Structure 1
Protein backbone atom coordinates (compact mmCIF):
# COMPACT_ATOMS: atom_id res chain seq x y z
CA UNK A 1 0.00 0.00 0.00
CA UNK A 2 1.25 3.49 -0.86
CA UNK A 3 2.35 5.70 2.04
CA UNK A 4 0.16 8.44 0.51
CA UNK A 5 -3.63 8.40 0.39
CA UNK A 6 -5.84 10.93 -1.36
CA UNK A 7 -9.57 11.20 -0.67
CA UNK A 8 -10.42 12.13 -4.23
CA UNK A 9 -13.34 13.26 -6.36
CA UNK A 10 -12.43 12.84 -10.04
CA UNK A 11 -15.09 15.42 -10.99
CA UNK A 12 -13.23 18.13 -9.01
CA UNK A 13 -10.44 20.08 -10.72
CA UNK A 14 -8.68 20.86 -7.43
CA UNK A 15 -8.70 17.15 -6.58
CA UNK A 16 -7.38 16.21 -10.05
CA UNK A 17 -4.59 18.81 -9.79
CA UNK A 18 -3.63 17.55 -6.33
CA UNK A 19 -3.50 13.95 -7.56
CA UNK A 20 -1.33 15.04 -10.49
CA UNK A 21 1.09 16.86 -8.13
CA UNK A 22 1.42 13.70 -6.03
CA UNK A 23 2.17 11.69 -9.17
CA UNK A 24 4.66 14.37 -10.30
CA UNK A 25 6.68 13.49 -7.18
CA UNK A 26 7.05 9.93 -8.49
CA UNK A 27 4.49 8.33 -6.19
CA UNK A 28 1.31 6.49 -7.10
CA UNK A 29 -0.97 7.15 -4.13
CA UNK A 30 -3.81 5.07 -2.81
CA UNK A 31 -6.81 6.82 -4.36
CA UNK A 32 -10.01 6.68 -2.35
CA UNK A 33 -12.97 7.94 -4.36
CA UNK A 34 -14.84 8.97 -1.23
CA UNK A 35 -18.18 9.38 -3.02
CA UNK A 36 -18.05 5.65 -3.91
CA UNK A 37 -16.20 4.49 -0.78
CA UNK A 38 -16.83 7.03 1.99
CA UNK A 39 -14.61 7.00 5.06
CA UNK A 40 -16.22 5.46 8.12
CA UNK A 41 -17.28 7.64 11.01
CA UNK A 42 -14.17 6.56 12.95
CA UNK A 43 -11.92 7.30 9.94
CA UNK A 44 -13.50 10.74 9.65
CA UNK A 45 -12.87 11.44 13.33
CA UNK A 46 -9.19 10.48 12.94
CA UNK A 47 -8.86 12.61 9.80
CA UNK A 48 -10.46 15.59 11.56
CA UNK A 49 -8.12 15.18 14.53
CA UNK A 50 -5.06 14.98 12.25
CA UNK A 51 -6.31 17.93 10.17
CA UNK A 52 -6.92 19.97 13.31
CA UNK A 53 -10.37 20.82 11.97
CA UNK A 54 -13.88 20.75 13.33
CA UNK A 55 -16.67 18.84 11.62
CA UNK A 56 -18.20 22.18 10.57
CA UNK A 57 -14.94 23.27 8.94
CA UNK A 58 -14.89 20.06 6.89
CA UNK A 59 -18.37 20.65 5.47
CA UNK A 60 -18.55 21.60 1.81
CA UNK A 61 -21.39 23.99 0.95
CA UNK A 62 -21.15 24.45 -2.82
CA UNK A 63 -22.88 21.78 -4.88
CA UNK A 64 -24.12 19.88 -1.83
CA UNK A 65 -27.34 19.60 0.20
CA UNK A 66 -25.77 21.89 2.87
CA UNK A 67 -28.38 24.65 2.51
CA UNK A 68 -31.34 22.29 2.05
CA UNK A 69 -30.37 20.47 5.26
CA UNK A 70 -29.82 23.77 7.12
CA UNK A 71 -26.35 22.62 8.20
CA UNK A 72 -25.24 26.17 8.97
CA UNK A 73 -27.65 26.08 11.89
CA UNK A 74 -25.72 25.87 15.21
CA UNK A 75 -28.36 23.48 16.59
CA UNK A 76 -26.56 20.52 14.94
CA UNK A 77 -24.00 18.75 17.14
CA UNK A 78 -20.77 17.31 15.74
CA UNK A 79 -22.27 13.82 16.01
CA UNK A 80 -25.35 14.91 14.06
CA UNK A 81 -23.15 16.55 11.42
CA UNK A 82 -21.18 13.30 11.11
CA UNK A 83 -24.52 11.53 10.55
CA UNK A 84 -25.26 13.93 7.68
CA UNK A 85 -21.81 13.31 6.18
CA UNK A 86 -22.44 9.57 6.43
CA UNK A 87 -25.67 10.00 4.46
CA UNK A 88 -24.20 12.56 2.02
CA UNK A 89 -20.42 12.09 1.57
CA UNK A 90 -20.45 14.94 -0.99
CA UNK A 91 -20.48 17.18 2.11
CA UNK A 92 -16.77 16.39 2.68
CA UNK A 93 -14.37 19.11 1.53
CA UNK A 94 -11.83 17.71 -0.90
CA UNK A 95 -9.23 16.60 -1.52
CA UNK A 96 -7.78 15.35 1.75
CA UNK A 97 -4.26 13.93 1.47
CA UNK A 98 -2.54 11.74 4.06
CA UNK A 99 1.26 11.31 3.88
CA UNK A 100 3.98 10.34 6.38
CA UNK A 101 4.55 14.10 6.84
CA UNK A 102 0.98 15.02 7.71
CA UNK A 103 -2.63 15.42 6.63
CA UNK A 104 -3.97 18.37 4.68
CA UNK A 105 -7.13 19.58 3.05
CA UNK A 106 -5.49 20.59 -0.22
CA UNK A 107 -7.45 23.66 -1.25
CA UNK A 108 -5.66 25.06 -3.15
CA UNK A 109 -3.97 22.00 -4.62
CA UNK A 110 -0.45 23.39 -4.01
CA UNK A 111 -0.88 22.78 -0.27
CA UNK A 112 -0.03 19.14 -0.99
CA UNK A 113 3.57 20.21 -1.68
CA UNK A 114 4.02 20.92 2.05
CA UNK A 115 3.44 17.27 2.97
CA UNK A 116 4.94 15.32 0.06
CA UNK A 117 8.05 13.38 1.14
CA UNK A 118 9.57 13.46 -2.37
CA UNK A 119 10.42 16.48 -4.52
CA UNK A 120 8.65 17.26 -7.76
CA UNK A 121 10.28 15.60 -10.76
CA UNK A 122 9.58 18.21 -13.41
CA UNK A 123 7.40 21.04 -14.58
CA UNK A 124 3.73 21.06 -13.62
CA UNK A 125 0.86 23.35 -14.53
CA UNK A 126 -2.70 23.13 -13.27
CA UNK A 127 -5.52 22.25 -15.64
CA UNK A 128 -6.21 25.98 -16.07
CA UNK A 129 -2.62 26.51 -17.24
CA UNK A 130 -1.29 28.13 -14.04
CA UNK A 131 2.37 27.11 -13.60
CA UNK A 132 3.04 25.56 -10.19
CA UNK A 133 6.39 23.77 -10.67
CA UNK A 134 9.20 24.83 -13.03
CA UNK A 135 11.33 22.53 -15.22
CA UNK A 136 13.81 22.01 -12.36
CA UNK A 137 11.05 20.82 -10.03
CA UNK A 138 10.95 24.04 -7.99
CA UNK A 139 7.77 25.71 -6.85
CA UNK A 140 6.72 28.77 -8.86
CA UNK A 141 5.30 31.66 -6.89
CA UNK A 142 3.11 34.32 -8.42
CA UNK A 143 4.22 37.93 -8.25
CA UNK A 144 2.91 41.25 -9.54
CA UNK A 145 5.00 40.97 -12.73
CA UNK A 146 4.39 37.28 -13.44
CA UNK A 147 5.81 34.06 -12.04
CA UNK A 148 9.19 33.74 -10.38
CA UNK A 149 10.89 30.60 -9.06
CA UNK A 150 10.79 30.28 -5.28
CA UNK A 151 14.21 30.43 -3.67
Structure 2
Protein backbone atom coordinates (compact mmCIF):
# COMPACT_ATOMS: atom_id res chain seq x y z
CA UNK A 1 0.00 0.00 0.00
CA UNK A 2 1.28 3.43 -0.98
CA UNK A 3 0.62 6.42 1.27
CA UNK A 4 0.93 9.97 0.00
CA UNK A 5 1.14 12.75 2.56
CA UNK A 6 -0.66 15.41 0.62
CA UNK A 7 -1.41 19.12 0.74
CA UNK A 8 -4.25 19.97 -1.64
CA UNK A 9 -3.03 23.56 -2.03
CA UNK A 10 0.42 22.54 -3.30
CA UNK A 11 0.96 22.09 -7.04
CA UNK A 12 3.83 19.61 -6.57
CA UNK A 13 1.71 17.61 -4.15
CA UNK A 14 -1.18 17.50 -6.64
CA UNK A 15 1.24 16.38 -9.37
CA UNK A 16 2.56 13.68 -7.06
CA UNK A 17 -0.96 12.48 -6.31
CA UNK A 18 -1.69 12.18 -10.03
CA UNK A 19 1.44 10.09 -10.50
CA UNK A 20 0.38 7.80 -7.65
CA UNK A 21 -3.19 7.53 -9.00
CA UNK A 22 -1.93 6.67 -12.48
CA UNK A 23 0.45 4.01 -11.18
CA UNK A 24 -2.31 1.47 -10.64
CA UNK A 25 -0.98 0.75 -7.13
CA UNK A 26 -3.28 0.67 -4.11
CA UNK A 27 -2.86 3.93 -2.24
CA UNK A 28 -4.27 6.13 0.44
CA UNK A 29 -4.11 9.88 0.82
CA UNK A 30 -3.35 11.53 4.13
CA UNK A 31 -3.97 15.25 4.17
CA UNK A 32 -1.40 15.90 6.84
CA UNK A 33 -2.53 19.46 7.50
CA UNK A 34 -5.95 18.10 8.52
CA UNK A 35 -4.61 14.95 10.21
CA UNK A 36 -1.16 15.91 11.49
CA UNK A 37 1.61 13.37 11.88
CA UNK A 38 2.80 12.46 15.34
CA UNK A 39 6.44 12.82 16.31
CA UNK A 40 6.74 9.04 16.04
CA UNK A 41 5.32 9.04 12.50
CA UNK A 42 7.64 11.84 11.40
CA UNK A 43 10.61 10.02 12.91
CA UNK A 44 9.64 6.79 11.12
CA UNK A 45 9.40 8.61 7.77
CA UNK A 46 12.79 10.24 8.30
CA UNK A 47 14.29 6.83 9.06
CA UNK A 48 12.70 5.29 5.95
CA UNK A 49 14.10 8.12 3.82
CA UNK A 50 17.50 7.87 5.50
CA UNK A 51 17.71 11.66 5.85
CA UNK A 52 18.24 14.04 8.73
CA UNK A 53 15.18 15.86 10.12
CA UNK A 54 16.33 19.24 8.77
CA UNK A 55 16.06 17.83 5.23
CA UNK A 56 12.31 17.39 5.74
CA UNK A 57 11.79 21.02 6.82
CA UNK A 58 10.40 23.63 4.42
CA UNK A 59 12.83 26.41 5.24
CA UNK A 60 11.08 29.10 3.21
CA UNK A 61 7.91 28.97 5.28
CA UNK A 62 7.15 32.07 7.33
CA UNK A 63 6.78 30.01 10.52
CA UNK A 64 10.33 28.68 10.08
CA UNK A 65 11.90 32.02 9.22
CA UNK A 66 10.24 33.89 12.09
CA UNK A 67 10.54 31.29 14.85
CA UNK A 68 13.20 28.67 14.18
CA UNK A 69 15.66 29.67 11.45
CA UNK A 70 18.38 31.00 13.74
CA UNK A 71 17.99 28.39 16.49
CA UNK A 72 20.30 25.44 16.95
CA UNK A 73 17.69 22.69 17.27
CA UNK A 74 18.43 19.04 17.94
CA UNK A 75 16.94 16.36 15.69
CA UNK A 76 14.33 15.58 18.36
CA UNK A 77 13.42 19.28 18.62
CA UNK A 78 13.10 19.56 14.82
CA UNK A 79 10.72 16.60 14.77
CA UNK A 80 8.66 18.20 17.54
CA UNK A 81 8.51 21.48 15.58
CA UNK A 82 7.24 19.64 12.47
CA UNK A 83 4.63 17.83 14.57
CA UNK A 84 3.49 21.17 16.00
CA UNK A 85 3.58 22.95 12.62
CA UNK A 86 2.82 20.37 9.89
CA UNK A 87 3.03 23.10 7.26
CA UNK A 88 6.81 22.88 7.73
CA UNK A 89 6.96 19.34 6.33
CA UNK A 90 8.21 19.05 2.75
CA UNK A 91 5.61 17.79 0.32
CA UNK A 92 4.58 15.51 -0.99
CA UNK A 93 6.01 12.57 0.91
CA UNK A 94 5.19 9.17 -0.56
CA UNK A 95 5.88 5.87 1.17
CA UNK A 96 5.44 2.16 0.75
CA UNK A 97 6.25 -0.57 3.27
CA UNK A 98 10.03 -0.34 2.70
CA UNK A 99 10.84 3.18 1.48
CA UNK A 100 9.72 6.79 1.52
CA UNK A 101 10.68 9.79 -0.61
CA UNK A 102 10.05 13.48 -0.84
CA UNK A 103 8.39 13.95 -4.22
CA UNK A 104 10.60 16.83 -5.37
CA UNK A 105 11.14 16.34 -8.19
CA UNK A 106 7.96 14.40 -8.81
CA UNK A 107 9.92 11.73 -10.68
CA UNK A 108 11.47 10.65 -7.35
CA UNK A 109 8.08 9.16 -6.44
CA UNK A 110 8.70 6.37 -8.95
CA UNK A 111 11.22 4.90 -6.47
CA UNK A 112 8.36 3.78 -4.20
CA UNK A 113 5.82 2.78 -6.85
User: Above 0.5 in TM-score?
Assistant: yes
Unpaired runs of 5+ residues, structure 2, are: none
Q: Distance in 1 between matches of 2:19 and 2:39?
A: 28
Q: TM-score, normalised by structure 2?
A: 0.91
Identify, as 1 or 2, the structure richer in strand: 1
Structure 1: stretches of 5+ with no match in the other structure: 117-151
Which residue of the partner structure matches residue 45 of structure 1? 43
**Aligned structure 1 segments of 4 or more residues deviating by more than 3 angstroms:** none
Matched residue, 1:24: 22
Q: Which has the higher contact order (CA 8 A, sep 6+)?
A: 2
Alignment of 1:2-151 (within 5 A): 3-73=1-71, 75-100=72-97, 102-116=99-113
RMSD of equivalent CA atoms? 1.5
Q: Secondary structure at the match of 1:5?
A: strand
TM-score by length of 1: 0.69
Structure index of larger Rg:
1
